[in-house]
Structures are given as C-alpha cells and as structure tokens.
Amino acid sequence: MAQGMNIGEAAKASGLSPKMIRWYEEQGLIPRPPRSEGGYRVYGPKDIERLRFIRRARDLGFGVRQIGQLLALWQDRGRASADVKRLALEHAAALEARIEALRGILAAIRHLAEHCHGDARPDCPILEHLAHDQEEHP
Amino acid sequence: MAQGMNIGEAAKASGLSPKMIRWYEEQGLIPRPPRSEGGYRVYGPKDIERLRFIRRARDLGFGVRQIGQLLALWQDRGRASADVKRLALEHAAALEARIEALRGILAAIRHLAEHCHGDARPDCPILEHLAHDQEEHP
DNA sequence: TCTTGACCTTCCCAGAATGGTAAAGCCCAC
DNA sequence: GTGGGCTTTACCATTCTGGGAAGGTCAAGA
C-alpha cells in the first residue's frame, strides 16, 4: 500500500476532509494528482506528506497564501531560514493584533455586563451604551 | 435639517458605509426607508439613531443576528435586562473562546520562531515541525 | 437653460475556509 | 450482478465588507 490512495484515504491519512483536499488542489497548493481509469484522484506518499504539511500549517492558523509560501520554502533546498522566520513572525504579529482587538472588545462587554443587574427590570446599561453616544466628545 | 438625509449623509452621521446601510436593510435590521421622487432613500432622525445603535453593536463584535435581537430588546419597553445581559455574556464567552484558541496558536508560533536562527542557512525548526509528524502517537 | 460633477440606484463579483446537497458514475465484496 | 459505499462535478450558504459597472438624479455654476 501507500501506493495509490483514494481521496477518502488521503483525507484520513492527512487529517483534512476530501472537500478541503479538492479545494486546496483548486487553489494550487497541491498538484493535480493522476486519475484512475474511473476518474478517481490517486495520491501517492509524497502527496500525503504535502497534505499533512498543509494541515499542520492550517492548524497554526496560516492562510492559504502563506501556506503556499511555506510549501515553496519547504521545497527549496537553498532557502534561508530567515525567510521562514519572517513569515512566522508576520503571522504572529497579525495574530497578536487580532487578539488585542478582541480583548478590547471583550473587556468592554464584560464591563457593561457587570453593571447590568440582569433581572426582570428593563433598564440596562448595555442598551444605554448602544443607544446613546457617549463616545463622541474628543 | 435632520429631516431627510440621503444615504451618504446617513452614513456620515452613523459611521457606517452606504454599502453597509443597504446591506443591513436587506438583512432586515432596519426598515426600508421611504424614497424621494428620484428613488433615493430618505432617512429621518429615528433611522439615524437606529443606524448608530447598529454601528456600536457591530463595534462590540456582535453579529447581525445578535444585533437584531438587541434591537428588538431595545424597542421592547417591557424587556427584562436579564435577556440583554444573557446575550452579552454569551457573546463574551464566544469571544473568550476565540481569544483562547488564537493565543494557543500564537504561543506555538512564537515558540517555533524562537528556535529558528533566522539566517541564511536552510535548516529551520518551523519547517521541520510542519513536515514531520511529531504529533501523532496517542 | 445647459453642463458638469457628485451622488444615488441596482446588480454582480470577490474574499477565506468550510459545510451541505444533489445527480451521476465507479468499485468491490458477496 | 447487485447493493452500498465511495467519488466525481457543480451549485449554494455562511459573514461582513469592499470594489466596480451601467445608468439615473440632483444641485450649482456658466
């Protein structure tokens, strides 16, 4: 075995869904595999390796474009590790920015919720915040 | 003024883009406004209030469905603040989950990047992590 | 009054990644 | 040979936002 897996087996072996495998193929992350007589995609060990690489990169939150760059670097024997590191640090910076934005929002929500008594009465600082412009006044 | 603003003015007054205003209308968050003779949407003060409410809710990361619920509660004189609070806390929990997931990923990336010397040499623990399955072996 | 430029209208397309469905064809074990 | 499971393509939906095209409207200035 390991010689010629169908997409379902490739999916199990890589941790991706068949759908995603086809989609990555469409996006150009993986070469179009040969087909069986019946038209089925046939994957070899190299393909499985590549799919697993993709899954791990995806699990680290890399986008399709970045995964493509990582794959290119991976295949490039003469790569500089600095290039890989730069990609990773850019991704880290983007993640951090998203996290910070979300944390700001979370803090605001929590703050509002804390001051809402949360009973049967209708008055609520959350709705008041949304309704009245306390924000503008620089 | 404040009587009959075009969509562009409504956008400036609310902080939303004209595109988004039309889209919120399509999503049912705001009633379809009356039109001028020429077919232009005409917004009154009440509409602007509602648009601002929507913008603030959006800025707090609420999704369209939740904004709809918040608007309904806002208009409901007999609402219980507990309902608003529940919505806010659900949203906070979802935010927290997303933040935690991102933080896990960020830590992993940072850890890998720290161990990558990042120079002209090709060997790189980041690519090695992506290439070799250290993870499977339960 | 005519022109011009800014604004508005609708409709289509795109992204990013995933899931679902449907109609049809293939493959294998019994 | 037949049934059930797998695969194929193709289309739709999500969530929110932006871009653009093709055409209509409006107001101000010449």
A110, pLDDT greater than 50: yes
Cβ under 8 Å to B: A residues 7-66: 49, 52-53, 56-57, 59-61
Domain ranges in chain A are 1-79, 81-138
Strands (E), A8-133: none
Q: What is the mean pLDDT of residues A52-65?
A: 96
For strand C, list residues 5-64 of chain A whose Cβ lies within 7 Å of it: 17, 19-20, 23, 36-40, 58, 62-64
Please list, residue by residue across B97-109, b when 16 or more beta carbons sit within 10 angstroms of its beta carbon and e when fewer do: eebeebeebbeeb
Closest CA to B134 of A52, A12, A48, A44: A52
8 Å CB contact between B71 and A64: no
Q: Is residue B136 predicted with pLDDT exceeding 60?
A: no
Answer yes or no: are the C-beta atoms of A3 and A41 closer than 8 Å: no
Q: Is the CB of B84 under 7 A from strand D?
A: no
The two structure tokens encoding residue A128: 């008041």
| Local confidence band at B1 (pLDDT 50, 70, 90 cut-offs) | very low
The fold for domain B1-79 equals: Multidrug-efflux Transporter Regulator; Chain: A; Domain 2 (1.10.1660)
Q: What is the pLDDT of residue B132?
A: 87
Q: Which amino acid is at B101?
A: A
Q: Do A121 and B81 touch (CB under 8 A)?
A: yes
Mean pLDDT, all residues of chain A: 92
Q: Are B52 and B15 in contact (CB under 8 A)?
A: yes
Task: Provide mean pLDDT across the span B35-56.
Answer: 96
Window 99-118 of A: residues touching B by CB (8 A cutoff) are 99, 102-103, 105-106, 108-110, 112-113, 116-118
Q: Within a 10 A sphere around the Cβ of A28, how many other Cβ atoms?
A: 11
H-helix or E-strand containing B104? helix B81-114
